[in-house]
A and B are shown apart, each in its own frame.
Chain A
């Protein structure tokens, strides 16, 4: 992989929206001649924006886990569930395999996204040349798994709609689920804002 030319070196720029290859005019307000979208050699302010979104997402993630997401009321018994206690309940009473799926979607996936994006940001900002290919793959993984954390939010929504027996039994959504939904949306935007080409833009890059 020694002499692979890069678009930025050849004075070319690719359109994200329609994939047209253009000559780079090195201007801030260049637009794609085919689809009219803004053309950027690199996504604008990728580092600052991704950091800001990641930190914002983390601020939502803390209450999302600490606050209960769902209240179940049955025969006067009030039971508030957090994400974690819901998983434990599913493990104990229901089916352990689904508990594993929910655990992956609501705990592992968001955590992985925080750690992975922070790692990509730090390493790219330092122009690190360590594990370039692996870091590219990590980014694609983050993009791919992004929205699966929405799982628990949809579970709460379905249960709320389903269980509406008045004073006999009831399910209510609690604020945790709102924070969690926002966390997922913001981390998705954060991973879209990160420009994976920065991984390969390291200092004195001359492979």
Chain B
């Protein structure tokens, strides 16, 4: 990442264009109607999508995700019973166990993709959306938006939900297993992520204005 102060800054072209990120084709921007999706005529990639969700709606979704995330991490995910003993685990239980069992690499990957990156993502989104409601750019907007772009692909909560499902079935071959509240919180989190996935948060650059310092 280059620091903003260095380097040559080229002139900004008229803000009436879209460039397809996948094949470099240039288009004139068009206002999209409800539910419309603009696709690249050359490579069929999505150029832009109309969102029914307002900024306040997005903020509400992020807050809901934060609540679900806390529940998903506090409540146990699955409980296992054998000879009257009950054992349950949370996400952090898994991470600590992997660390202790000499799979530290896995522990690090899991803690980043399932805990730290999702937290960073939700907090940063919360921060910029809070200000974006008033069409303003939050303090540190530039850095936050760049960080959001970098962290984006590295959250794997959805995969974890499916993994928990497979683990329950596998453990069921030998033990009594019961899914716990945590897994339902994860399910809710998965739904919110899916709802959010069609939103390109980069549109906040266009929706907000620089406030004079």
A interface residue numbers (CB < 8 A to B): 1, 4-8, 10, 12-14, 16-25, 27, 29-39, 74, 86, 89-90, 93-95, 98, 101-102, 105, 132-133, 136-137, 139-140, 146-148, 150-165, 168-169, 172-173, 177-178, 181-182, 185, 188, 192, 196-197, 199-200
Contact = CB atoms under 8 A, between A and B. Distances in A.
Contact of B12 (A21, A86, A182): A21
Nearest to B79: A162
B37 interface: no
A162 B23 contact: no
Given A98-B166, A132-B43, A155-B167, A35 B97 contact: no
A9 to B, nearest CB: 9
Given A6-B24, A27-B8, A151-B166, 9 more contacts: A21-B15, A23-B10, A29-B6, A29-B8, A34-B205, A147-B156, A161-B93, A185-B109, A196-B22
Contact of B3 (A36, A90, A132): A36
How many B residues are at the interface, by size bracket?
35 or more
A89 B41 CA distance: 47
A162 B12 contact: no
B26 A6 contact: yes
B153 interface: yes
Contacts, number: 258
A153 B167 CA distance: 11
B134 interface: no
Interface of B: 1-4, 6-15, 17-19, 21-26, 41-45, 77-78, 80, 82, 85, 87-89, 93-98, 101-103, 105-107, 109-110, 113-114, 142, 145-146, 149, 153-154, 156, 159-160, 162-167, 169-175, 177, 202, 205
B144 to A, nearest CB: 10
Contacts of A196: 21-23, 43
A148 B163 CA distance: 10
A20 B24 contact: no
